[in-house]
Amino acid sequence: MRVWSVASGVAWRTVKNVVTTPSLLLPTLMFPLFFFTAFAGGLSQVQNVPGFDFPDGYTAFQFVFVLLQSAAFGGVFTGFGVARDFEGGFARRLLLASPNRTGIVLGYALAAMIRWGITATLLTTVALVFGMRVGGGPVDVLGLYTLALLVNVCGFMWAAGIAMRLRTIQAGPLMQMPVFLLLFISPVYVPLTLLTGWMHAAARLNPVSYLLEAGRSLISGGPTHVALAFGLALLLGVVFTTWALRGLRAAEAAG
């Protein structure tokens, strides 16, 4: 119970901060919409490339990427908040006051999920308004959003681990850049089979590629590699949660 009281308090404060501060809320909401508009609108001709065989059209194809991207960055942006709280001294007071410090990490993670939930709702609404076709049934769609939620947890735990070790907002690029690169060195614009050269080799080694391909198969109603994708997401979730909790211990040790 002590974990929950700490977690709910931290989550409430973090969500309230984000929702009431336009400079924090707007980038979270606007960037995924920019990407979705630019990719689904500007690149739709890519679906006419020979070998492009995604059945539900380019809008749905890109929606899955932007959904997973928004999930990852929703987590990373919440990690920025952790770093800011450490820089400003708030997190130090929080460490002193909390009867269970694991609840602090859990609280921030809950806030990251809620924050992403707001973005995902807006993004989904815009995509449906713009005529996105969804071939998958309710279970497939639930699977897609669950996969994205796991990505959100991974993104947050990665960023929180950095934030609690370095305890400065200047660590922002270190939290952001690897996630950005992992996301973009994957089949963002065309299916994996249409990538060539170094990009194909790198994308095949990148776990994000399998999350993306599974997500796209779910939205089109023909699930493939779903077990592999969930397995990878859960594994990464465990690794990054361990990374974040060890970061918490490092922050405790630093005082």
Q: Which residues bind other proteins (CB under 8 A)?
A: 23, 26-27, 30-31, 34-35, 37-38, 40-46, 48-52, 170, 173, 181, 184-185, 187-190, 194-199, 202
Q: Looking at beta carbons only, is 181 or 254 nearer to other proteins? A: 181
CB of 130 to other proteins, least distance (A): 9
Shortest Cβ 27–other proteins spacing (Å):
6
Q: Which is nearer to other proteins, 176 or 217 (CB)?
A: 176
User: How far apart are CB 187 and other proteins at their closest, in Å?
Assistant: 7
> Given CA atoms 70, 166, 23, 5 in this order, what sign does their dihedral have?
positive
Report the residue number, 56 or 140, with the smaller CB distance to other proteins.
Answer: 56
Could you tell me if 60 and 132 are in contact, meaning their C-beta atoms sit under 8 angstroms apart?
yes
The four Cα atoms 104, 109, 113, 119 give a dihedral, to 10 degrees, of 90
Least distance from C-beta 84 to other proteins, angstroms? Answer: 14
CB of 58 to other proteins, least distance (A): 9
Give the residue with the Cβ less far from other proteins, 20 or 48: 48
d(CA 233, CA 209): 11
Of the two residues 139 and 177, which places its CB atom closer to other proteins in the complex?
177
Which tokens belong to 201? 């080799």
Residues whose CB falls within 8 Å of the CB of residue 145, separated by 6 or more in sequence, listed in order: 67, 120
Please give the Cα distance from 232 to 58 (Å, whole number): 26
Nearest residue to 153 via CA among 207, 108, 219: 108
